[in-house]
Amino acid sequence: MLTKQKILQSALVKIILGAIIVLASVIIGQQIFLKIPGVSLLNSDVRNFIKGIFVSTLAIGGYWLFYSKYEHRIITELSPKGLWKNLFAGISIGSGLQVLTILVIYLFGGFTIIAVNPFSALVIPFTVAFTVAILEEILLRGIVFRLTEEKWGSTIALIISGLIFAGLHLVNPHVTVISVLCITAVGVLLGAAYMYYRSLWVPIAIHFAWNFTQNGIFGAITSGNEKTSSLLTTQITGPKFLTGGQFGPEGSVQAVLFCLIVAVFIIRQLYNQDKLVRLI
């Protein structure tokens, strides 16, 4: 018979409660921010940038406070120790994968730069990229992956978090089979990166760099959403399997392959170093 203590300490309950706390922090934070005197007078880009920092900080703070009290532990996965090293590693992986994806399109004659825009055009994509990266990685890697791995091991955690990550993108416009495969591969990669570094800052940085490079730098569609402003105004043409079509480059075959290669490489390193959690 399950006792109250066992129920409260179950992985599912921890996941549900943690997700509620983080999402509530973001929703309440947005409402509080809008009521701050003088906010409405700010330029819209500046206002959204500050709001992004505000709600992201609350999401991190909500996660940190809840699990430090609930699990009675130090939140090492968000430790500032080695922060810049971890951010550099993540940004290098995320932006590097996106550059390779676009490079393939360019080599096949499908990528053309039409104009170079002012750096101010980066504010919106930068804001969206870091806000989405922080919130999704806190929820999917910090909560879902971490607790699932503790309960059922690394392999199950990679599969579950990867499928949930892909599932969340199924509602996006212009989704395809290839784009679902790519998002799943990215989800596995993000989980593997977390396992290797045991720091949420790495998958956050990978996620941010992947989206920001794709959308903010190369001016491409991201996950089927409408384009925002970008540093480069570009035209992407060619076969859908190479360009991703209206879903964007992350719906391309090469994106799937590049992400899988890096994910497999990291998992192989984890296996060789006996860092995979095996519980079943």
Tens-level pLDDT at each residue, the chain (280 residues):
557 777 778 889 999 999 999 999 999 999 999 888 888 888 999 999 999 999 999 999 999 999 999 999 999 999 999 999 999 999 999 999 999 999 999 999 999 999 999 999 999 999 999 999 999 999 999 999 999 999 999 999 999 999 999 988 888 888 999 999 999 999 999 999 999 999 999 999 999 999 999 999 999 998 878 788 999 999 999 999 999 999 999 999 999 999 999 999 999 999 999 888 876 5
Do you know the residue count of the chain? 280
Dist CA 230 CA 215 (whole Å)? 7
DSSP 3-state of 28: helix
133 in Cβ contact with 208 (< 8 Å):
yes
Give which of 122, 79, 93, 57 is closest to 205, Cα–Cα: 93
The secondary element (H helix, E strand) that includes residue 15 is helix 11-34
What single DSSP character describes residue 37?
T
Strands (E), the chain: 111-116, 232-236
pLDDT at 78: 97
What is the reported pLDDT for 82?
Answer: 94
The CA distance from 6 to 8, in Å, is: 5
Is residue 203 a contact partner of residue 278, using CB atoms and an 8 Å limit?
Answer: no
Closest C-alpha among 198, 199, 249, 241 to residue 224: 249
Which pLDDT value is given to residue 1?
53
pTM, to two decimals: 0.95
pLDDT value of residue 25: 95
Whole-number pLDDT of residue 206: 98
> What is the per-residue pLDDT for 278?
77
| CB 55 within 8 Å of CB 131 | yes
The DSSP code for 1 is -
Compute and round to an integer the Cα radius of gyration of the chain.
19
